Structure 1
Amino acid sequence: MDNFTPEDLLLYLYKEVSPRQQEQIEQALERDWTLNEKMNVLKSARERLSRIHESPRTEVVLNILRYANKQISAVSTH
């Protein structure tokens, strides 16, 4: 299997492939410059994503909690 998809590379990157698939992908990465570049792009994206730390605004959290309380009140009164 020499035609690896981006999905195959993602599975490899996150260690979700069989040992045989891992070996095949590693061999392909050694000999296929284009595939290796694609893997480097995925690795870079993973690193950038891991540095993102977003939190919802307090107002959003409070709105969700108010809504949940209303739903609980509506259920308990019926």
Structure 2
Amino acid sequence: MEQNFTQNQLIRFIYKESDAAEMMQIAEALSSDPVLAQEYEELLEAMEQLPQVQFQPSGDSIRTILQYSEMTALETSH
């Protein structure tokens, strides 16, 4: 019986959030299904890129927001 796994199941597998039975099923499927293995590799590469994402706005963005905030605060206080 061939089982299809969803992207969510593969992501849970990557983060080790699957139960033991599902972990074994996915591991077995990865060794025999090249398409699934390719999708797994792509998800793994994407996950490895996450720490490189900048989760903080640039200084220019912060200054722009603060300037806008000051302008609108002055407009409402008149």
TM-score normalised according to structure 2 size? 0.70
| Matching residue's letter, 2:52 | R
Identity %: 27
Q: Which residue of 2 aligns with 1:36?
A: 37
Query: Any idea what SS the aligned residue of 2:47 has?
Result: helix
Worse overlay, 53-62 or 25-34: 53-62
Q: What's the CA shift for 1:48? A: 1.3
Q: Which residue of 2 aligns with 1:19?
A: 20
The answer to which structure, 1 or 2, has the higher relative contact order (CA under 8 A, 6+ apart) is 1
Q: Which residue of 1 aligns with 2:4?
A: 3
Distance 1:8 1:35 in 2: 11
Q: Tell me the C-alpha RMSD between the 2 structures.
A: 2.2
Aligned residue pair count: 67
TM-score normalised according to structure 1 size? 0.70
Q: What's the CA shift for 1:58? A: 4.0
Q: What's the CA shift for 1:61? A: 4.9
Distance 2:58 2:28 in 1: 46
Distance 1:21 1:42 in 2: 18
Worse overlay, 54-63 or 13-22: 54-63
Q: What's the CA shift for 1:60? A: 5.2
| Matching residue's letter, 1:50 | P
Work out whether 1:50 is the aligned partner of 2:51.
Answer: yes
